[in-house]
Structure 1
Amino acid sequence: MHQQVAVLLSQIEIELKKLQLWSVVPPSAEALASLAPFCCDTMPLEQWLQFIFIPRMGALVEGRLPLPVNIAVCPIAEEAFAPLTEAKLGLINRIADLDQLLSGKRIQQSARC
C-alpha cells in the first residue's frame, strides 16, 4: 500500500502543478504552525497539501510507517477548489483516490473522471 500512496501523492503534486497551484515560496513559520484543521486560518488548501500533507505522508511512506486509516480530504478539497472545472476534477479525483485507498471510503460529491 505504501507504493500506491507514493504514486497518488506524486499525482496530486502533478495536478497541483498543472493547475499552477504549486508555490515556490513556502508559507511563513507562523502559518505552518497553525493548529486549525488543514491550516485553514493561515493558508489556502493547495499550500497545506504542498507544504504539510504531501511531505508528512511522504515521510510515512519512506519510513514504511503506519498510514492513517481515517482520512477524508476530498470534501474540503471540493469546497476549497470550487467552482469545480474539468481541469480541477483531476486533482479532486486523485485526492478522493487517496482517501479511498487509506480509509476504504470515498466521500466525493463531484463526478469522477
Structure 2
Amino acid sequence: MERHQRVRQQLQRVEQVLRHHQQWQSAAPHSSAFESTQPFCMDTLEPYEWLQWVLIPRLHALLDAGAPLPQAFAVAPYYEVALEASHPARDAVLVTLVELDALFAGDDA
C-alpha cells in the first residue's frame, strides 16, 4: 500500500478513536486559539483539539495536494506527557498516534 494511503487511513483511525471517546468537537475553537506560537498550540488548545483542528486537517491537505509529507514527525511523545494518565481515551489515542508516527519513521518516509 502506498505511503500516502496508509497515512490517510491512520488519520481516519485517529478520528475514529476521538469520536468513540467523545473527544471530537462539533464546533471549532475561536480563531484566536490558532494564533498561538507555542508547539501544539498548548497555551490555547486542549491536546485533543489540536489533533482535530490542526494536525488532521493539515495532513489531509498535504495528502489531497499530493504534496511531500514531513520527514521527521513524532507527536506521540508529546501526547504521552500531555494526556492525563486517568483519561479513558489516553491509551487508545496513544496507540493510534504511535502508529501514525511509525509511518514517518520507516525507510519509505
Asked if these proteins are the same fold (TM beyond 0.5), I'd say yes
Match of 2:41 in 1: 39
Q: Distance in 1 between matches of 2:47 and 2:75?
A: 10
Q: Distance in 2 between matches of 1:17 and 1:33?
A: 25
Unaligned runs of 5+ in 2: none
Is the contact between residue 14 and residue 96 of structure 2 (CA under 8 Å) also seen in structure 1? yes
Q: Deviation of residue 94 (structure 1)?
A: 0.9
SS at match of 2:71: coil
Match of 2:55 in 1: 53
Do residues 83 (structure 1) and 85 (structure 2) align?
yes
Q: CA RMSD in A?
A: 1.5
Could you give the per-residue CA deviations for residues 65-112 of structure 1, whole angstroms, max 9, x where no partner exists?
A: 1001111100111122221567532211111111111123xxxxxxxx
Q: Distance in 2 between matches of 1:59 and 1:5?
A: 12
Q: Distance in 1 between matches of 2:91 and 2:85?
A: 10
Do residues 27 (structure 1) and 32 (structure 2) align?
no
SS at match of 1:41: coil
TM-score of the superposed pair, with normalisation by structure 1: 0.85
TM-score of the superposed pair, with normalisation by structure 2: 0.88
Q: Percent identity over the alignment?
A: 36
Range 75-84 or range 94-103, more displaced: 75-84
Could you give the per-residue CA deviations for residues 26-45 of structure 1, whole angstroms, max 9, x where no partner exists?
A: 11111011111000010101
Is the contact between residue 68 and residue 102 of structure 1 (CA under 8 Å) also seen in structure 2? yes
Q: Once superposed, which parts of structure 1, at least 4 consecutive aligned residues long, lie more than 6 Å away?
A: none
